[in-house]
Chain A
Amino acid sequence: MRVLRVWGFAAVVVAAATGTPMQRPVRAQARPRAVTATSFADLRTWDATIDRMTRDGSLRARRTIEDTELSGRRHERLDQFYQGVRVYGGDIARQTDRGLTASIFGTIYEDIDLDVRPALSIDDIRTVLERESGVAPGPRRVPELMILPDDAGGYRLTYRATIFTLEGDHEYFLDANTGAVVRMLDGARRQASAATIAHGQGILGDDKKISVRGQSGMFVASDMLRPPSLKTYDARGDINRVVAFLNGLINLTDADLASNASTAWSDPVPVDAHAYIGYVYDYYFKRHGRRGLDNNNIAIMSIVHPVRRNDIFTAPGTIIGSYYVNAFYAGDGVMVFGEGLPPGLTLNRQSWNFLAGALDVVGHELTHGVTEFSSGLIYRNESGALNEAFSDMMGTAIEFYYQAAGGGSMQADYLEGEDVVVPGGLRSMANPSQFGDPDHYSRRYVGPADNGGVHTNSGIANNAFYLAIEGGTNRTSGLSVQGVGGANREQIEKVFYRAFTQLMPANATFAVARQVTIQAARDLYGIGNAPERAVTQAWTAVGVN
Chain B
Amino acid sequence: MRAVVVLFALLTPALASAQSEPRIYVSVNGGIQRSDNTVSQSFSVQKNFEAAPIASNVDEKHGVLFDAGVVYRLARHFGVGFAASVVNDDSDAIVQASIPHPFFFDRATDPGTVPGVRAINGATGAKRRETAAHIEAVYLLPGRRVDLMFFGGPTLFRAEQTLVTDVTYAETYPFDTATYTGATTVDSTSDWAAGFHVGADLGWKLSRSFGVGAVVRYSRAQAEFNVANNSAIKADVGGIAVGGGVRFAF
Contact = CB atoms under 8 A, between A and B. Distances in A.
B103 A211 contact: yes
Interface in B170-204: 170, 172-177, 179, 184, 186
Nearest to B181: A63
23 contacts: A63-B170, A65-B179, A68-B109, A68-B177, A69-B176, A75-B172, A93-B172, A140-B125, A197-B49, A197-B102, A199-B49, A208-B104, A208-B105, A209-B49, A209-B102, A209-B103, A211-B103, A225-B103, A226-B173, A279-B103, A282-B174, A401-B111, A401-B112
B124 to A, nearest CB: 9
A225 B173 contact: yes
Contacts of A404: 112
Tell me what chain A mostly uses at the interface: helix, strand, loop, or mixed.
mixed
B249 to A, nearest CB: 41
B119 to A, nearest CB: 13
A199 B105 CA distance: 10
B172 A209 contact: no
B224 to A, nearest CB: 20
A207 B49 CA distance: 11
B177 A402 contact: no
Contact of A68 (B102, B176, B184, B186): B176
Interface in B55-113: 101-105, 109-112
Contact of B174 (A69, A209, A275, A402): A69
B48 interface: yes
A286 interface: yes
B112 A209 contact: no
A263 B49 CA distance: 10
B112 A402 contact: yes
Nearest to A226: B173
A177 to B, nearest CB: 29
B105 A211 contact: no
Nearest to A286: B174
B105 A227 contact: no
Interface of B: 48-49, 101-105, 109-112, 125, 170, 172-177, 179, 184, 186
A278 interface: yes
A286 B104 CA distance: 15
A227 B177 contact: no
Nearest to A263: B49
Nearest to A412: B112
Interface residues of A, number: 29
B174 A285 contact: yes
B111 to A, nearest CB: 5
Contacts of A445: none
Nearest to B170: A63
Contacts of A279: 103
Contacts of B172: 65, 75, 93
A373 interface: no
Contacts of A401: 111-112
A83 B179 CA distance: 29
Contacts, number: 52
A209 B48 contact: yes
Nearest to B187: A138
Contacts of A285: 174
Interface in A280-318: 282, 285-286
A164 interface: yes
Interface string A215-233: 0000000000111000000
Given A164-B184, A211-B103, A227 B112 contact: no
Given A68-B176, A402-B112, 17 more contacts: A68-B109, A69-B176, A93-B172, A164-B186, A169-B184, A197-B48, A197-B49, A197-B102, A209-B103, A209-B104, A211-B102, A226-B173, A275-B103, A278-B103, A282-B103, A282-B111, A400-B112
A428 to B, nearest CB: 23
Contacts of B49: 197, 199, 209, 263
Contacts of B111: 282, 401-402
Contacts of B175: 225
B228 to A, nearest CB: 8
Contacts of B110: 286
For the complex of A and B, list the 5 residue pairs with the smallest distance between their C-beta atoms, beginning with the closest: A199-B49, A197-B48, A402-B111, A197-B102, A68-B177
Contacts of A208: 104-105
A278 B172 CA distance: 15
Contacts of B112: 400-402, 404
B97 to A, nearest CB: 17
B135 to A, nearest CB: 34
Nearest to B101: A209
A199 B102 CA distance: 10
B127 to A, nearest CB: 10
A469 to B, nearest CB: 15
A503 to B, nearest CB: 27
Contacts of A286: 110, 174
Contacts of A207: 105
Interface in A346-404: 400-402, 404
A400 B172 CA distance: 25
B176 to A, nearest CB: 6
Nearest to A264: B49
Contacts of A227: 173
A400 B109 CA distance: 16
B60 to A, nearest CB: 19
Contacts of B48: 197, 209
A225 B176 CA distance: 13
Contacts of A63: 170
A256 B184 CA distance: 39
A69 B112 CA distance: 15
B246 to A, nearest CB: 31
A164 B185 CA distance: 9
Contacts of B104: 208-209
A513 B51 CA distance: 48
A222 B186 CA distance: 35
Contacts of A69: 174, 176
A199 B103 CA distance: 9
A199 B177 CA distance: 21
Contacts of A93: 172
Contacts of B177: 68
A487 to B, nearest CB: 11
